[in-house]
Amino acid sequence: MAVFAATSDRATTPAVSAQLITAENGIARESGTISAGLALDLGEGWKTYWRTPGEVGFPPEIDWTGSRNVDEVEFQWPAPERFTAFGIENFGYRDEVIFPLRIALEQPGQSALLSASVTLLACSDVCVPQDFNLSLDLPEGASIDPNSAARIADYASRVPVGAEAGGIRSATAHIDADATALTVTLRRSSPFQTPDVFPELGEGASLGAPDIRLGEDGRLLWARLPILSPPVDPTAVPSLTATDTRGWAVTATPDRLAAAPPPPYSEARAATPLSSMVWIALTAFIGGLILNVMPCVLPVLSIKLSSAMKLDGAGRASVRWGFLASAAGVMTLMWGLAAVLFALRQAGVTVGWGLQFQNPVFLALMIGILAAFAANLAGAFEIALPAGLQTRLARAGTAGGHVGDFLTGAFAAVLATPCSAPFLGTAIAFALAGRGTDIALVFTFLGLGLAAPYLLVAARPGLVRHLPRPGRWMIALRVVLGLLLAVTAAWLVWVLQGVAGTTTMLAVVGMTAALVLLLSLPRLRGAVRAGLALPLVGIMLFGAAYLADTSAPRALGAQVTDWVPFDRAEIARRVSTGEVVFVDVTADWCLTCKANKAVVLDREPVVSALAAEGISPMQADWTRPDPAISRYLEGFERYGIPFNAVYGPAAPDGIVLPELLSSEAVMAALDDAAGEERDISGQP
């Protein structure tokens, strides 16, 4: 008569069927341990998690309260596999898994009751927590079922062994200073075949997909993994689990290195086809051309107008060389920016379009320059070169004017950088994710697009004749242009307050006011000079009174939408429960973001849609540098903002929206992400 091992009743849901199994029918005389297993049969498309699940999920847990004659239970973890859920790397199991259990008895040889309260998370398109109770009564007796014993032994053999038992000769790990990348190595006595690695850095840590390379005739495994979320405790001792063919699995504690070990070889980037290069160049050119009409380039247009008015009556050659100098200024700035971005990327620094507006020093410099330009246009002062230098420049033609034209073009390009226009995001992503030649190509054609108006006038100098004749109206126009630049400076002051705090902002405002006053003093007479100087000095003293304050980020003002703070892991958690998540990456210095907010996000029907039940609007504020936001954008090969994406049960990897939003695009993405769950727009 066949003897079958004891099993508990099955707990069954659409996602998983669970059962306790044992190799023994009963407790043999003087036996102090029994071999058991938690057997899970997962439904098609469902998964559950390893002890370190990744950025989302949690591992199975068992509460043995209620058991009898059970002293201790050792829960063993078979080696996991890697899968992607909601665009995030996770570690776990699919189809079937048995977690081996080594159960120590309080009273050897006596009957026992196993009472397991199991909690686990099963995920497919959504994640559903599973809670069930399993009970198994084991009387005294001795019999073994080979089938159940073999099933438990099979999964016990998949539990990783120690480094020495697995033939590991050395294991190392290095985490960079910014906790953005983990580099590990394993040296094995026999060659690796198709390995995978599953590092564990501690609570709260999550990692991206590994870049695995083999060297030393296959005996060296080198891997680099991006750190998506750093551990709560950066001093925690890391653990490294590796798997390979034929069920080989090892867990080792690596030695921490002060410097990242070099890869065994470098991977050459495949050359981009010529057709793709032409398309990207055209895309960059169109993106630069569109920047000329974007709202954020209004100060650029004002500088162009003021420059063009000075050329009335000038010869064609003078006009041509003046506008070519402005175009050269644009191109020089673009090539310089490309060189800086390439150097920073080579040094491992996060780079992106417009990130200089996160730098308080850059903002302070821009505020000072804009304020001086505004005061100059308003007639507060004129900057004249020494007489001798003016004479030499006059003999050389109009070189002095061309220097000014060159600087005008360069300054125009600087002011264009906080903007993102259609086509621009695609071109910048290609450049910053590619080689040095890709960066040079994109920024060259981006500069050509931005400089196109200058080049057009240089090619056809006669266009200047169509400008209005000089007259008294030019005085009023200069004042208007000065006010436009002053408004831009005021906006940058507001940005600076968000980036560096109130103290720094007040100090910069005071120093800028002092600079303008100093430049204006030669034109002011006694009473007028005092009348202007005293208020400016008062402003500086008022700012100085706040220098002892503790600077703090600007508090959010009244919001039309109740935004949830950005948390990359929270996106997956919310989507796993069936919610739709709308992500908005924005910054105070991003004028295109402000335009999207005013025209689309703060208007109907989008406002009502984002406030609907089951919709989570999530905002990432990139005004200040934030590595988590940078890494999130890099996951989409984006290096600038605005950036918007919609996640949902039908779009777990996200639907990326265009840089310039429209109500139709947002509503369609919300509906597509929700899928069959609901119709966000309310349309039949």
User: Which residue, among 157, 217, 214, 226, has the nearest Cα to 186 in the 3D structure?
Assistant: 214
Q: What SS3 state is found at 58?
A: coil
Rounded CA-CA distance 539/512 in Å is 11
CB of 148 closer than 8 Å to CB of 141 = no
Rounded CA-CA distance 554/355 in Å is 19
Return the number of other C-beta atoms located less than 10 Å from residue 443's C-beta. Answer: 25
Total count of residues recorded for the chain? 684
Dihedral sign for Cα atoms in the order 93, 76, 120, 236: negative
Q: What DSSP string runs through 95-134? A: SEEEEEEEEE-SSTTS-EEEEEEEEEEEESSSEEEEEEEE
Between helix 316-346 and helix 436-450 the angle, nearest 10°, is 150
89 is written with which tokens? Answer: 């790397």
For residue 449, CA distances in Å to 453, 454, 492 come to 8, 10, 25
In this predicted structure, what is the pLDDT of residue 424? 55
Encode pLDDT of 471-489 as tens digits.
565 566 666 766 766 777 7
In this predicted structure, what is the pLDDT of residue 545? 41
User: Is residue 9's pLDDT more than 50?
Assistant: yes
CB of 260 closer than 8 Å to CB of 175 = no
Backbone angles phi, psi at 286, to 5 degrees: -65, -40
For residue 613, CA distances in Å to 244, 529, 657 come to 46, 61, 22
The highest-confidence range among 105-119, 260-274, 442-456, 506-520, by mean pLDDT, is 105-119
For residue 182, CA distances in Å to 9, 257, 392, 626 come to 44, 11, 60, 19
List CB contacts of 574: < 8 A, sequence separation 6 or more. 581, 616, 647
CB of 574 closer than 8 Å to CB of 652 = no
Band (506; pLDDT cuts 50, 70, 90)? confident
Rounded CA-CA distance 489/366 in Å is 8
Encode pLDDT of 22-64 as tens digits.
888 788 888 888 889 999 999 988 889 999 887 667 889 999 9
Rounded CA-CA distance 202/225 in Å is 15
Backbone angles phi, psi at 312, to 5 degrees: -60, 130
192 is written with which tokens? Answer: 């690796």
Block residue for tokens 């840089």: 659
Lowest mean pLDDT among 155-159, 290-294, 553-557, 655-659: 553-557
Rounded CA-CA distance 174/596 in Å is 42
List CB contacts of 383: < 8 A, sequence separation 6 or more. 376, 519
Cis ω before 642 (30° cut-off from 0): yes
Q: What is the mean pLDDT of residues 102-125?
A: 88
Q: What letters, b where the CB count within 10 A reaches 16 and e where it falls short, cover 592-602?
A: bbbbbbeebbe
Backbone conformation region of residue 431, classed left if phi is above 0, alpha if psi is from -120 to 50, else beta: alpha
Band (431; pLDDT cuts 50, 70, 90)? low
Rounded CA-CA distance 370/489 in Å is 6
| Alpha-helical segments (H) within 220-293 | 274-291
Rounded CA-CA distance 111/131 in Å is 27
Rounded CA-CA distance 255/239 in Å is 10
Amino acid found at 162 = G
How many percent of the chain have pLDDT more than 70? 73
For residue 240, CA distances in Å to 199, 207, 214, 491 come to 4, 13, 17, 50
Rounded CA-CA distance 354/356 in Å is 5
Q: What is the mean pLDDT of residues 529-547?
A: 45
Encode pLDDT of 335-393 as tens digits.
887 887 777 666 655 555 556 667 787 778 777 777 776 776 666 665 544 444 344 43
Lowest mean pLDDT among 46-55, 66-75, 92-101, 385-394: 385-394
| Alpha-helical segments (H) within 157-268 | none
In this predicted structure, what is the pLDDT of residue 232? 79
Do β-strands 211-215 and 615-621 pair in parallel, antiparallel, or remain unpaired?
unpaired
Band (174; pLDDT cuts 50, 70, 90)? very high
Band (143; pLDDT cuts 50, 70, 90)? confident
In this predicted structure, what is the pLDDT of residue 537? 44
Rounded CA-CA distance 334/452 in Å is 14
Burial class (CB in 10 A: 0-12, 13-18, 19+), 258: exposed
CB of 234 closer than 8 Å to CB of 272 = no
How many percent of the chain have pLDDT more than 90? 24
Rounded CA-CA distance 677/672 in Å is 10
580 is written with which tokens? Answer: 């739709």
Residue 161: DSSP 8-state: B
Residue 264 CA to its chain's centroid (Å):
29
- Gyration radius of the chain's alpha carbons: 33
pTM exceeds 0.85: no
In this predicted structure, what is the pLDDT of residue 417? 60
Contacts of the segment 429-432: beta carbons below 8 A, 24+ positions apart: 429/637, 429/638, 429/639, 430/280, 431/284, 431/338, 431/341, 432/341, 432/345, 432/351, 432/352, 432/639
In this predicted structure, what is the pLDDT of residue 391? 45
Residue 349: DSSP 8-state: -
